[in-house]
Amino acid sequence: MRDQLPERFPFSLTDELFFHIDRPETPFSIQMEARLNTSLDLARLREAIATAMMQHPMMRAALAPWSAKEQRYYWALPDEMPAVPLDVTEVRSDEELERVRKRLQSTSVGLDTPPPFRCVLARHADGDYLMINTSHIASDATGAYRFLTSVLRAYARLPDPQPEMDFVGCRDLVGQFGSQRLSERLNRVRRLMNILGSSLTPPTRIASATTEKSDGVSIQPLQLSEKDTQSLQRLRLDQATLNDVLQTLMHLTIAEWNRQHGQKSGRISLMMPMNTRPPERRFELASNLSLWVAVQSRKPQRQDFASLLPHIRQQTKLLKEHGTAGLLIDLLHEIRALPLWLKQWLPNLLPLTGNRFVDSSVLHNLGRLPSPLPEGNSLQVTEMWFSPPCRLPMGLSVGAATFNERLHLAFRYSHQQFSRASAQAFAGLFLEQTRTALKQVEGRPADGK
């Protein structure tokens, strides 16, 4: 409730990190998009978005006034409900749909005025698209999906129960995951080094394939059939998860893409966001509650799918079991005491160090998404797309989600990385690597059902 929330509350560690690396040329934002089975009423949709904003404080917050001499940023909740940021447009072809999506997702969402997201209702003869661009400074992808769920439930006039939570306490990642003792921190560092090793060379970059070099991003969607989605379970060897499978395929795709474009691949590093929400409320609370960790491979490990998968599985297993992801919280906590002017300058160090801290790409798997609406409801979601940001020089990111028994992959690319044709070619190469892996493991027992 509004009277249970403070008017101002501090940025979390991850809010602050993302605030400093947001750039207009590749906005640090989350794409969340649902295709519906019908046309939506515009006035009713505006009302539903406003209702969802009241349910999720971060989705009506703004950056509070600040001074460079201060040490922290704060969010502020407005006294009155902000205007609903919704535009509407007609789309008659895939090309028009792509232009609308590109225009929305290439926009950097400002935080000086609430709310921290923008929406477009793209009207289509075969069902409308509800598109949302959410600042990653305000929420992670899981939170953006929860907000979208609230919008659709409000539109359908359905209950939208939420668990009782301490909103500010849930955002305190230091208290939940930070090291309590020096010995614990040293153990985390040791585990991280065992998983990732050490390297003085920057991660491999994906070979660029465009002459445009303009600002902004586009998204190449790829939806697998129900049969092809089910076939991926055969790749889950030796207790590997579907996320391990997708990570492995992405490493192999990058290596093969670079080979085809005459570029060597050394250490490939994929950023992997990890949801810190407890299992009982895995899809609750619009906020930044994910930690970003890196999963890496080197050339000798990438002989084929079966040889690389164990290396990927071992890394993700250790990251999840031993809480190594909390090291990120420890490191960010160390620089929190710096004045804001200095923290704003820190991202400028990355080019001077060869961008060693910017990974090759991002693969974010949201997993099997619960349907926002119950079966039998007249309004239904037919497709669900999302993608994480791709901060340069990382020119590509991939968002994965299983919805309606189909894997939805969104390849988000900078216009300085790919053209439309080359993005389609990269997505096609990912499919080729999938087919090759399935042939390789044919006849071997998998852990998937």
> CA separation (Å) from 263 to 205, 286, 354, 428?
9, 40, 17, 19
Residue 357 has a pLDDT of: 61
> How far is residue 4's CA from residue 236's CA, in Å, rounded to a whole number?
45
Residue 282 has a pLDDT of: 85
Helices within 6-41 (DSSP H only): 13-21
> pLDDT-derived band of residue 1, with 50, 70 and 90 as boundaries?
very low
Residue with tokens 């491999």: 204
Residue 184 has a pLDDT of: 55
Angle formed at CA 203 by CA 237 and CA 178, multiple of 5 degrees: 75
- Sequence-distant (6+) residues with CB within 8 A of 433 are 249, 252, 253, 256, 305
For 40-91, the three-class secondary structure string (H helix, E strand, C coil) is: CCHHHHHHHHHHHHHHCHHHHCEECCCCCCCCCCEEECCCCCCCCCEEEEEC
> How far is residue 26's CA from residue 24's CA, in Å, rounded to a whole number?
5
CATH number of 180-440, picked from 3.30.565.10, 3.30.559.30, 3.30.420.40, 3.10.20.90: 3.30.559.30
Let me know: does 67 contact 144? Beta carbons within 8 Å. no
Residue 134 has a pLDDT of: 97
Residue 354 has a pLDDT of: 44
Residue 97 has a pLDDT of: 95
pLDDT single digits (tens) 91-130: 999 999 999 999 999 999 999 999 999 999 999 988 999 9
Angle formed at CA 263 by CA 258 and CA 269, multiple of 5 degrees: 60
Q: Is the pLDDT of residue 132 over 70?
A: yes
Q: Within 10 A of 83 (CB to CB), how many other CB atoms are there?
A: 11
* Ranges of CATH 3.30.559.10 domains, the chain: 2-160
pLDDT single digits (tens) 304-363: 999 999 999 998 887 776 555 566 665 555 555 555 554 555 555 444 444 556 789 999
> How far is residue 243's CA from residue 319's CA, in Å, rounded to a whole number?
13
Cα Rg of the chain (Å, integer): 21
Let me know: does 232 contact 443? Beta carbons within 8 Å. no
> How far is residue 302's CA from residue 366's CA, in Å, rounded to a whole number?
25
Give the mean pLDDT of 172-193. Answer: 56
**pLDDT: is 380 or 164 the higher one?**
380
Residue 349 has a pLDDT of: 44
In 3D, which of 231, 146, 219 has the Cα closest to residue 406?
A: 231
> How far is residue 229's CA from residue 235's CA, in Å, rounded to a whole number?
11
Q: Which of 176-185, 270-279, 351-360, 400-409 has maximum average pLDDT? A: 400-409
Q: Is the pLDDT of residue 259 over 50?
A: yes
> CA separation (Å) from 368 to 171, 315, 430?
24, 22, 20
Count Cα atoms within 13 angstroms, Cβ side, for 58. 25
What's the CATH fold of domain 2-160? Answer: Chloramphenicol Acetyltransferase (3.30.559)
**pLDDT: is 101 or 20 the higher one?**
101
* Ranges of CATH 3.30.559.30 domains, the chain: 180-440
Give the mean pLDDT of 197-216. Answer: 80
Residue 188 has a pLDDT of: 55
Q: Is the pLDDT of residue 70 over 80?
A: no
> How far is residue 185's CA from residue 373's CA, in Å, rounded to a whole number?
43
Angle formed at CA 212 by CA 206 and CA 217, multiple of 5 degrees: 65
| Average confidence score pLDDT of the chain | 85
Residue with tokens 């009782």: 164
In 3D, which of 183, 43, 134 has the Cα closest to residue 389?
A: 134
Residue with tokens 């309590």: 180
> pLDDT-derived band of residue 270, with 50, 70 and 90 as boundaries?
very high
pTM of the model: 0.89
Count Cα atoms within 13 angstroms, Cβ side, for 264. 6
Residue 446 has a pLDDT of: 67
Let me know: does 340 contact 375? Beta carbons within 8 Å. no
Residue 350 has a pLDDT of: 43
Residue 66 has a pLDDT of: 78
Residue 444 has a pLDDT of: 73
As given in the structure block, the two tokens for residue 219 are 């998204």
Give CA 258 to chain center in angstroms: 24
| End-to-end CA gap in the chain | 42
As given in the structure block, the two tokens for residue 345 are 């300058």
> How far is residue 143's CA from residue 224's CA, in Å, rounded to a whole number?
25
Give the mean pLDDT of 45-72. Answer: 90
> CA separation (Å) from 426 to 4, 198, 217, 312?
48, 29, 15, 21
> CA separation (Å) from 136 to 243, 289, 389?
22, 11, 8
Give the mean pLDDT of 268-284. Answer: 86
